[in-house]
Amino acid sequence: MTVRRILTRENPRLRMKSAKVKRVDRPMQTLIDDMIETMRAAEGVGLAAPQIGVLLRVIVCEYVDDETEELHQTVLINPEVLAKEGEWMAEEGCLSIPGYVGTVPRAVRVTVKGKDRKGKDVRIKTDGQLAHILQHEIDHLDGILFTDYLKSLDELREVESPRKRRRRASASGDSAESALSDETPPAGDEDQPEDTIDPAAAEAAVGSSAPTVGRGADDEPGRARQRYRDFCCGARGRRITCQ
Ligand code: NI
């Protein structure tokens, strides 16, 4: 697995429409592994292939469910949003726009179909963190950045990148964890939604890599949880109808 360079906002490839994947072959597995590695190295909760310069419709997402403490990993090839319901104002950032965050409208619940990394058809209906991440990552496949939803780039807020913050924490002798100890998860307005997978699709996915992996993967759940908070800009209590 290789950590690839993440393109930033000014790169024209981020504005192009990515092509559908025709074959889920060995090079595709390498691409997916590299994307996961790159996402983790950059401390993101999601990554789309065009962000590493590959104009193919592939996304990876990873986060920890606050309630179950399980690490969820979703890989989707040729994802398509079938339905969106509700709207909330979400705070988010992007690995391609480091150091800035903004508040943008997102659907509360989405139904998405695509293929998993083994090429099996999957359908995901979710209104949790995954719904948020999926919308952001799928946008990348059409050359859309979250900043496109802002009236003006002046609406962007500058934030310290996780990497910088960690450097600062270690320079001051604190561990990154203790430097973050005052951060609390966004407060929920409603019960933690569950990610649901269409039973037919789940059946179709039997024997393949399920979109969810349990605890014990090589990424520590606490770190993954922090990555989602970073994506949401550490916005305490900003959970509006979802998140
Ligand atoms: Ni992004």
The Cα 212–Cα 190 span in angstroms is 23
The pTM of this model reads 0.74
Task: Name residue, tokens 């900043």.
Answer: 147
- How far away, in angstroms, is 98 Cα from ligand 1 center? 9
Query: Do 44 and 95 meet the contact criterion of CB atoms below 8 Å apart?
Result: yes
* pLDDT computed for residue 159 by the predictor: 87
Expressed in angstroms and rounded, the spacing between residue 200 Cα and the centre of ligand 1 is 30
Angle of helix 221-231 relative to helix 162-171, nearest 10 degrees?
120
Cα of 145 to ligand 1 centre, how many Å? 7
Are the beta carbons of 180 and 226 closer than 8 angstroms? yes
**Element (H or E) spanning 196, and its range?**
strand 196-197
**Model confidence band, residue 220 (pLDDT cutoffs 50, 70, 90):** low
> Which CATH number applies to 1-177+197-243: 3.40.50.300, 3.90.45.10, 2.40.50.180, 3.40.50.620?
3.90.45.10
Amino acid at 92: E
Q: Which amino acid is at 172?
A: S
Cα-to-centroid distance, 136 and ligand 1 (Å)? 6
By DSSP bridging, strand 46-48 and strand 58-64 are: antiparallel
Q: How many residues are given for the chain?
A: 243
Distance 102 CA to ligand 1 centre (A): 12
Q: What is the mean pLDDT of the chain?
A: 79
The reported pLDDT for the residue numbered 129 is 87
Q: Which are the catalytic amino acids?
A: 137
Q: Are 66 and 192 in contact (CB under 8 A)?
A: yes
Share of the chain above pLDDT 70, in %: 72
Q: Give pLDDT tens digits for 100-114.
A: 999 999 999 999 999
Q: pLDDT tens across 145-185, in order?
A: 999 999 999 999 998 776 677 777 778 765 444 333 333 33
**Is the pLDDT at 83 greater than 70, yes or no?**
yes
